Each structure stands twice: as structure tokens, then as C-alpha cells.
């Protein structure tokens, strides 16, 4: 089906998708077209600026706090008001947007549910449209679901979590919707559709249109979102500042502009979040193209050390000085079925992670699974109130600490784990699942990016493995073949392995694995 709104907006829907008629309305598409017309050229310029900046990093420049924005960092100012239903964000559950998981997450007892079109979603057209239908139904009061396999009925409980939606990052497109002959941005599509269909109903229910903004690389990208918000509020007749956003600090350039990002979005922002997994990925991608910046095994890169500890402490101090929430992040440990000891260890890992976060001053945290809500809630019960906004830590880590790499080893086990996880994750993604349990951990786009980025880095610089062996293309291909053999015949494993091989051996680092992977779906 192709729907033409006017000469500039065409929607091509290659297969009949449930709910398309409800979501792809003339009004909603007209709004997305207006966003595209006004903002897409700027989005593309900002993506090009990322690549130019990368060339400077490759030439040896290291990130620093920009001199030209010193006045913003040094001046006293605060962000705008925080809505009542966002004051207590102790535990936020995240997950994809299918009906069952949306209902389970909203009923999980968490304060917030972040419905995710980014790291936890493989952007199949069907999933995206159905996701928007589910979110719209939540605000229409008609969200329910019967599982076709088990026959179990799901409906919203008495006290659902507050809903926040994470649109895709600026780098992704939505090829099923074109305007002026070009695919629209995935971010503007996800944002625009949700805002158009849900803002009024969310406000009428005493909540509001709330968003998480992923993968920003600095203040200019935040300024773009700010302008998108101002334009959208006017288009929909909403009071300025009605849209509220929490920005993920999950790239190294953004971590050096946290004040500036809050300032750019001050009418709309309510907090920042430590997106630790993408942050590790960004650290490798942006600064790791050098033989003296080789990372250790993924498992050695923990939040209590080096650049990760430094950035989370700096984020807390920065946010609280400006009256903004300092949200913690996601521990990848998830419940382990059928092994009590392993399950206890997983719970202990999550508990320790959350206790560290609350002890450092975070106002709340993320969990990946309903069974972890209470664990996190118990850890955050040590706060004296609903948040720690009034605590401003004095000791703020500086540039050197923020650029300090983790010490640790690279091992054959670490290489093989990266191969296994990346192949299985990409295979799942190609099959339409954006988050999967692998080896007792939650894996999603961000965690898988770390695996393939490390493989590229270690290959490119022939890293020492287990102290005495240089990693090489031969070794990589041998271990990839081994791991593939051990995995057997699952769906999409072959194309996933081919893509991983291409990504790991490419002369130039691919910005996101989801870009070539998107060419392989739908």
C-alpha cells in the first residue's frame, strides 16, 4: 500500500501491518513530514559533524570541556520544573514495545517504564507500528493482550508505571516513510507518532509526553531536540515545556558537555542517565583507534573503575547542581532459570550495582526484568526521600579520570565470548528481537556493539591475547568458525556471522552495526 498525503509525503507499507490504519493517519504523517522538512537537513549535518570529529580523534585529539561554553558551566542556573509524576524515579524498567511486555512492565511495580524503540528493538516495520498502537492503547485505556501460545490474558493493573518513550537515535532512518523523496529519521518518526497520538491523552490522565533521548554526541544535537520540542509543542498547541525528556549520556563527547546539554534543553529536560553500555562502546569507537588504547575483556570494564566510575560521579554532581535527576543504568545480570546458585549470584550482582549507585548519589536506576524491580527498590530504599536532588557531591572527577582506561587482560575466553554474543545477538536482531538473554546476561544493541567493536579494535592493532599471542585475522576466522559450529543451525546465524566478519575485518570502523543490519531486514 502506498499512501500519498501531498507531493512531499509518501508512505510505503510493503506488507499489511496490524494497526497501520490507526497509526498512519493523515494528521500524524503530516506532522512527521513537517518535522522532516524542518529538521532533517540539520540532523544530517550533525551526523556528518560526528565523522569530522572522529577524524580529529583519530589524529590524536582527546575530548575536553569546550572553552567556548565555559560561561554555561560556570553560571548558576537550573532546569525547568519537574512534573509530579516524575519526582520519584527510584526504579525504571525498560523493554521492547510488544503488548505483552508493555503490560508486564507497566504492572511490574517499577515507578517508570521506558518503552524502547532503540537498543531493545530491532526496527521491523511491523514491530514499530504495533509498538505505537500499544502505547496509544495504553492512553486510550484499552491496552490488553491474549498470548496466542499460552492463552494467558494480560491487562493493565491498578497502578501502572509512568510511561517514558525512547525513540531511535539520530543515526537511524525509517525507510518505510519517505518525505521529499527521502526516508525520514527513525527518531523523528518514533517521537512524532507517539507525541501526535498520545500527548493529549497522557496529559488528560495526569501524566505527560515523556521521552528518553539516546546516543547524543553533544550540545548541538541537544539543541536540535530542543528545537524539535519547541516546534512540536507549538504544532500541537501544547504549552512550552510540556514535553519532558531525560537524556542518556552514553557517548564520550556528550560526557564532556553534560552542563551544555542540560542548558540546551532546559525548558524540557528533567535529568540525565548513565547509559553505560553505549558509553563503553563509544569510548572504544571514538578513542580506541590507537594501539595504546586497547581495552581489556568486556567483563573487566566495570562501573566502579576508571572512566566509567568517573563519568557517573560527574553526571551526578552536574545534574544535582542544576536540579536534574541523575539516573543510574542497567546491570546486565538477569534472573537465571533452573539454577538457584547462579540465580542468587545474578541477584547479588544487581543488588551490589544498585547499592553502589544509590551510595554515589543517583536518584534511581534501570532494571531489565520484572523480577529485578524489588531488588533495586530495596537498594534505593536507603535514600531518605524520593530522590537525592538536594545532595550535591563536592568531589567531581576531572578530565584525566574521565579518560582513564580500565586495566585488565584480554583473553581467548573474552574473544570467544565477544564472537558468540555478537553472532547470536545479530541473528536475533535480524529475526526481529532487539533484546535477548545470552549466557545469563541481557544483551541488546549497545552490549553487542561493545563485542564487535572490541573484535575490530583487537584485530586492527593485533592485540596481545593471554599475554603471549597476537590476535590475527587467521585466529579470528578460526575461532569464529569454531563458535559457529558449536552454535549449530539456528535461524539467521550464517548471515549474522557474515556480517560480524565484515564488521570486524573492515578497514574503517562502521559507525553502528544496526546500519548494515537494517539493510538486511524487512
Residues 430-449 that bind ligand LL5AMS7Z (CB under 6 A): 446
CA distance 329 to 343: 20
Could you say which of 99, 106, 336, 446 contacts Mg ion (CB under 5 A)?
Answer: 446
Could you say which of 99, 252, 330, 346 contacts ligand LL5AMS7Z (CB under 6 A)?
Answer: 330
Could you say which of 105, 184, 248, 310 contacts ligand LL5AMS7Z (CB under 6 A)?
Answer: 248
Decide if 444 is catalytic. Answer: yes
CB of 496 to ligand ACO, least distance (A): 17
Could you say which of 96, 271, 288, 329 contacts ligand LL5AMS7Z (CB under 6 A)?
Answer: 329
What are the phi and psi torsion angles at 306 (to 5°)?
Answer: 50, -140
CB of 279 to Mg ion, least distance (A): 8
Decide if 378 is catalytic. Answer: no
- Residues contacting ligand ACO: total by CB under 6 A: 24
CA distance 486 to 255: 40
Are the beta carbons of 438 and 505 closer than 8 angstroms? Answer: no
The window from 231-239, 349-357, 365-373, 465-473 that contacts ligand ACO (CB under 6 A) reads 365-373
Active-site position among 266, 444, 452, 460: 444
In angstroms, how far apart are the furthest CA atoms of the chain? 65
Q: Of the two residues 119 and 257, which places its CB atom closer to ligand LL5AMS7Z in the complex?
A: 119
Q: Of the two residues 122 and 500, which places its CB atom closer to ligand ACO in the complex?
A: 122
Contact string (CB under 6 A) for ligand ACO, positions 442-461, x = contact: x-x-x---------------
Binding of residue 119 to Mg ion (CB under 5 A): yes
Binding of residue 278 to ligand LL5AMS7Z (CB under 6 A): yes
Are the beta carbons of 110 and 92 closer than 8 angstroms? Answer: yes
CB of 47 to Mg ion, least distance (A): 17
CA distance 437 to 336: 10
CA atoms lying within 13 Å on the CB side of residue 123: 26
Q: Of the two residues 107 and 365, which places its CB atom closer to ligand LL5AMS7Z in the complex?
A: 365
Are the beta carbons of 66 and 257 closer than 8 angstroms? Answer: yes
Segments of 331-425 assigned E as strands? 364-367
Q: Which residue is nearest to ligand ACO (CB)?
A: 95
Grid cell locating 434: 532487539
| Placement of cell 545477538 in the chain | 425
Binding of residue 119 to ligand LL5AMS7Z (CB under 6 A): yes
Binding of residue 435 to ligand ACO (CB under 6 A): yes
Binding of residue 179 to Mg ion (CB under 5 A): no
The window from 50-58, 258-266, 363-371, 402-410 that contacts ligand ACO (CB under 6 A) reads 363-371
DSSP 469-517: EE--HHHHHHHHHHHHHHH-S-TTHHHHHHHHHHHHH-SS--S-THHHH
Contact string (CB under 6 A) for ligand ACO, positions 298-337, x = contact: --------------------------------x---xx--
CB of 447 to ligand ACO, least distance (A): 6
Burial class of residue 120 in the structure, from the number of CB atoms within 10 Å of its CB (0-12 exposed, 13-18 middle, 19+ buried): buried
Give the number of other Cβ atoms within 10 Å of residue 388's Cβ: 22
* Angle (CA) 190 195 197, round 5°: 100
CA distance 294 to 433: 31
Helices of type H across 88-204: 99-106, 125-140, 186-204
Three-state secondary structure call for residue 343? helix
Could you say which of 179, 261, 368, 421 contacts ligand ACO (CB under 6 A)?
Answer: 368
Grid cell locating 498: 557474515
Active-site position among 90, 138, 166, 410: 166
Segments of 55-133 assigned E as strands? 91-95, 112-116
Q: Of the two residues 87 and 438, which places its CB atom closer to ligand ACO in the complex?
A: 438
Taking alpha carbons only, the member of 95, 101, 97, 201 closest to residue 142 is: 201
Binding of residue 91 to ligand ACO (CB under 6 A): no
CB of 364 to ligand ACO, least distance (A): 14
CA distance 340 to 169: 38
Q: Are strands 182-185 and 210-213 parallel, antiparallel or unpaired?
A: unpaired
The window from 252-260, 366-374, 385-393, 514-522 that contacts ligand ACO (CB under 6 A) reads 366-374
- Contact residues for ligand LL5AMS7Z, defined by CB under 6 A: 119, 248, 250, 275-278, 329-330, 446
Q: Which residues are catalytic?
A: 166, 444
* Binding residues for ligand ACO (CB under 6 A): 93-96, 100-101, 104-105, 116, 119-120, 277, 330, 334-335, 368-370, 435-437, 442, 444, 446
**Where along the sequence are the contacts to Mg ion (CB under 5 A)?**
119, 250, 275, 278, 446
Amino acid at each position: 500500500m502506498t499512501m500519498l498525503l501531498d507531493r512531499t509525503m509518501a508512505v510505503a507499507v510493503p506488507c499489511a501491518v496490524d494497526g497501520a490504519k490507526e497509526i498512519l493517519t493523515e494528521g500524524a504523517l503530516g506532522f512527521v513530514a513537517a518535522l522532516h522538512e524542518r529538521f532533517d537537513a540539520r540532523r544530517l549535518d550533525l551526523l556528518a559533524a560526528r565523522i569530522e570529529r572522529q577524524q580529529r580523534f583519530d589524529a590524536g585529539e582527546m575530548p575536553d570541556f569546550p572553552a567556548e561554553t565555559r560561561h554555561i558551566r560556570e553560571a548558576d542556573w537550573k532546569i525547568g520544573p519537574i512534573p509530579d509524576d516524575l519526582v520519584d524515579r527510584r526504579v525504571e524498567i525498560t523493554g521492547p514495545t510488544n503488548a505483552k511486555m508493555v503490560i508486564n512492565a507497566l504492572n511490574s511495580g517499577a515507578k517508570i517504564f521506558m518503552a524502547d524503540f532503540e537498543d531493545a528493538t530491532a526496527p521491523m516495520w511491523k514491530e514499530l507500528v504495533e509498538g505505537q498502537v500499544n502505547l496509544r492503547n495504553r492512553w486510550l485505556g484499552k491496552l490488553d493482550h491474549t498470548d496466542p501460545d499460552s492463552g494467558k490474558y494480560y491487562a493493565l493493573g491498578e497502578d501502572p508505571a509512568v510511561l517514558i518513550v525512547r525513540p531511535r537515535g539520530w543515526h537511524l532512518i525509517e525507510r518505510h516513510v519517505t518525505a521529499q523523496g527521502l526516508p525520514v529519521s527513525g527518531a523523528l518518526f518514533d517521537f512524532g507518532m507517539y507525541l501526535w497520538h498520545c500527548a493529549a491523552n497522557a496529559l488528560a490522565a495526569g501524566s505527560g509526553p515523556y521521552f528518553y533521548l539516546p546516543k547524543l554526541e553533544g550540545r548541538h544535537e541537544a539543541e536540535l531536540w530542543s528545537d524539535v520540542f519547541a516546534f512540536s509543542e507549538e504544532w500541537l498547541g501544547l504549552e512550552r515545556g510540556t514535553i519532558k525528556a531525560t537524556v542518556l549520556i552514553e557517548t564520550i563527547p556528550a560526557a564532556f558537555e553534560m552542563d551544555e546539554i542540560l542548558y540546551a534543553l532546559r525548558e524540557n529536560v528533567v535529568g540525565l542517565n548513565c547509559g553505560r553500555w553505549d558509553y563503553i562502546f563509544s569510548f572504544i569507537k571514538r578513542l580506541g583507534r590507537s594501539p595504546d588504547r586497547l581495552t581489556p575483556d568486556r567483563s573487566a570494564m566495570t562501573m566502579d573503575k576508571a572512566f566509567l566510575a568517573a563519568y557517573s560521579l560527574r553526571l551526578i554532581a552536574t545534574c544535582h547542581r542544576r536540579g536534574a535527576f541523575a539516573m543510574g543504568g542497567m546491570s546486565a545480570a538477569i534472573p537465571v532459570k533452573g539454577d538457584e546458585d547462579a540465580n542468587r549470584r545474578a541477584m547479588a550482582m544487581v543488588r551490589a550495582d544498585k547499592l553502589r549507585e544509590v551510595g554515589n548519589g543517583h536518584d534511581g536506576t534501570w532494571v531489565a526484568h520484572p523480577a529485578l524491580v524489588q531488588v533495586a527498590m530495596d537498594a534505593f530504599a536507603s535514600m531518605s526521600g524520593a530522590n537525592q536532588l538536594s545532595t550535591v557531591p563536592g568531589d567531581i572527577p576531572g578530565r584525566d579520570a574521565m579518560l582513564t582506561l580500565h586495566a585488565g587482560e584480554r583473553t581467548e575466553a573474552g574473544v570467544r565470548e565477544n564472537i558468540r554474543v555478537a553472532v547470536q545477538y545479530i541473528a536475533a536482531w535480524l529475526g526481529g528481537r532487539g533484546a535477548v538473554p545470552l549466557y545469563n546476561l541481557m544483551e541488546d544493541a549497545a552490549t553487542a556493539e561493545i563485542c564487535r567493536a572490541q573484535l575490530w579494535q583487537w584485530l586492527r592493532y593485533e592485540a596481545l591475547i593471554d599475554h603471549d599471542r597476537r590476535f590475527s585475522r587467521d585466529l579470528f576466522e578460526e575461532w569464529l568458525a569454531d563458535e559457529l559450529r558449536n552454535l549449530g543451525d539456528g535461524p539467521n546465524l550464517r548471515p549474522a556471522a557474515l556480517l560480524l566478519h565484515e564488521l570486524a575485518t573492515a578497514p574503517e570502523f562502521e559507525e553502528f552495526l544496526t546500519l548494515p543490519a537494517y539493510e538486511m531486514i524487512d
